[in-house]
Amino acid sequence: MRGNQRGFTLLEVLLAGFILFLVLTSMTLVYRGALLSSAKAEASLVMTAAVPSIRILITESIRQSSHISDHGGSGSFGNLDYQWVATLAYEGQPSIIAQEDARTKFRYYLWDIDINLSQGNARRNYQFREISW
């Protein structure tokens, strides 16, 4: 006479294994997605943090230039590469009072500047305006 046996049947074990496989697969995909998002956010943060310093370099380049036409250039900042183009948007004179205070006549120029940053496969575009005289 057989005693009362307890335990799981083969079908129950296979079903539990399949459910465990599905859960592990979905959690792996979620983890992978989180890692990719984190890497993209970090690359974006590195690029955005470098923009003020690159902007200073571009501003100095425009202000030191003696000719008034479109400007452009490229360079590296850390492990970032950048290209920029400055287009003259407006040219004007300050008020008479400002010119009298400066004791000279001068003109000012408003520039539209486009910066393209790249780091590996990541690329971002930034735009700003700058003034020079």
pLDDT string in tens for the chain (133-residue length): 566 778 889 999 999 999 999 999 999 999 999 999 998 899 889 999 999 999 999 999 988 887 777 889 999 998 999 999 999 999 988 777 777 777 777 788 999 999 999 998 889 999 999 998 7
- For residue 131, what are the β-bridge partners? 110
DSSP lists the bridge partners of residue 115 as 84, 126
2 belongs to a structural domain:
no
Which range of residues forms the domain containing residue 99? Answer: 10-132
Quote the number of domains for the chain. Answer: 1
Place of tokens 């859960």: 23
* Domain assignment of residue 89, yes or no: yes
SS3 at position 71: strand
In a domain, 109, yes or no: yes
Q: Quick check: is 72 in a domain?
A: yes
Task: Give, in order, the Cα–Cα distances in Å from 125 to each of 20, 21, 31, 40.
Answer: 44, 43, 29, 15
pLDDT at 97: 74
Q: Which two tokens stand for residue 94?
A: 């300050």
User: Does a structural domain hold residue 108?
Assistant: yes
Provide the total of helices (H) and of strands (E) in the chain, helices listed first. 2, 4
Report yes or no on 71 lying in a domain.
Answer: yes
Q: What is the pLDDT of residue 2?
A: 62
Yes or no: say if 78 and 60 are a contact pair by the CB < 8 Å rule: no
Q: What six digits make up the tokens of 115?
A: 């910066």
Hey, what's the torsion of the CAs at 69, 70, 73, 77, to 10 degrees? 100
Considering the domain boundaries, does residue 1 fall inside one?
no
Whether residue 88 contacts residue 68, with contact meaning beta carbons closer than 8 Å, is answered with yes
CB-based contact 82:112 (threshold 8 Å):
no
Residue 82 lies in a domain: yes
